[in-house]
Amino acid sequence: MSLGTTDTAAGGRLSQFLDSPVIGMSPWIAMSVIVGPGRFELAVGIALALAVALVIVGRIRRPGSSFKILEIADVVFFAMMAIIGLFASQGTYRWLENYSGEVANIALMTIALGSMACRVPFTLQYAREQVPREYWGEPRFLRTNYCITGAWGAAFAVAAIAGAYGDLVLHNSNNLWTGWIIQIAAIIAALQFTEWYPDVARARSLRERNLPGPPEPPVSSLLIPLAGYLTPVGILVLAFGAGPVWLGVALIVLGVVLVKSLSRPEEAEPDSSA
């Protein structure tokens, strides 16, 4: 492969990533993962900077393009959080340090469900930039975006519940399980579903029309990243004492075994003509 071909392929992957709804959710992901006691200003600052940068990059890449629902929500929400943080009393500021992560997760969950209720799931605007216009009205294309938007809404609902449990029940915003492990697992699941499900829908569409194309990706390809996540979780459990030693060891072993099992290629069916 020539250098020019490599550069073109890399540019294509970068363009595809920038057109993905994942990039629009990066400020929310950053806020969800970073925020905590003593980290409110850092989390909001990074999230707002990402939100503004995404708007600028989007207009540079596609001059004259319309603003996306998520782009507007990103800038408005995190600008409001920054302003509130600047003028908040000490009591309000402490509340924000403890609960702004849950507020952000609930806000994005509301945006996801609200966009679906309005019949414009927010991933649709990103998907239309990667799919020819003649497919925009197809039921499968619309259904795919409802599923992906719903997956993100569910992921941030899980993150909000986990964070709220850590804050309100455990009274520990920095609890390793509720503040990090569970929330990151939900985001990984949504990220992987966003990559996996469109290929599934595309393969099914081609098969129904008796057209050639790549096979439907197996469920194992969806589960491998989640299985792989178990190993670093086990290491964290051992390193930070977030559970008994046997649990950390079991997670490490289970992660390795599951990844190896899920990565095993399916055996080809015997050739009946032999």
What distance in Å separates the CA atoms of residue 198 and residue 104, rounded to the nearest whole number? Answer: 27
For residue 83, what pLDDT band results from cuts at 50, 70 and 90? very high
Q: Which of 182, 260, 251, 178 is nearest to 223 (CA)?
A: 260
68 neighbors 126 (Cβ within 8 angstroms)? yes
Of 68, 75, 78, nearest in space to 32 by CA: 78
Mean per-residue pLDDT over the chain, rounded: 86
Q: Which of 21, 250, 35 lies closest to 149, judged by CA?
A: 21
Cα–Cα distance for residue pair 74/130, rounded to 1 Å: 22
User: 20: left (phi > 0), else alpha (psi -120 to 50), else beta?
Assistant: beta
Distance CA 162, CA 165 (A): 5
Say if residue 64's pLDDT is above 80: no
Q: What is the mean pLDDT of residues 202-229?
A: 90
**Confidence bin at 29 (pLDDT 50/70/90):** confident
In the prediction, which pLDDT does 16 show? 61
158, 144, 240, 233: which is closest to 193 by C-alpha? 144
pLDDT band at residue 271 under the 50/70/90 scheme? very low
* Cα 161 from Cα 174, distance rounded (Å): 15
Other beta carbons within 10 Å of 17: 10
- Tokens 């540079």, residue? 60
* Per-residue model confidence as pLDDT tens digits over 160-193: 999 999 999 998 888 999 989 999 999 999 999 9
Predicted TM-score (pTM) of the model is: 0.83
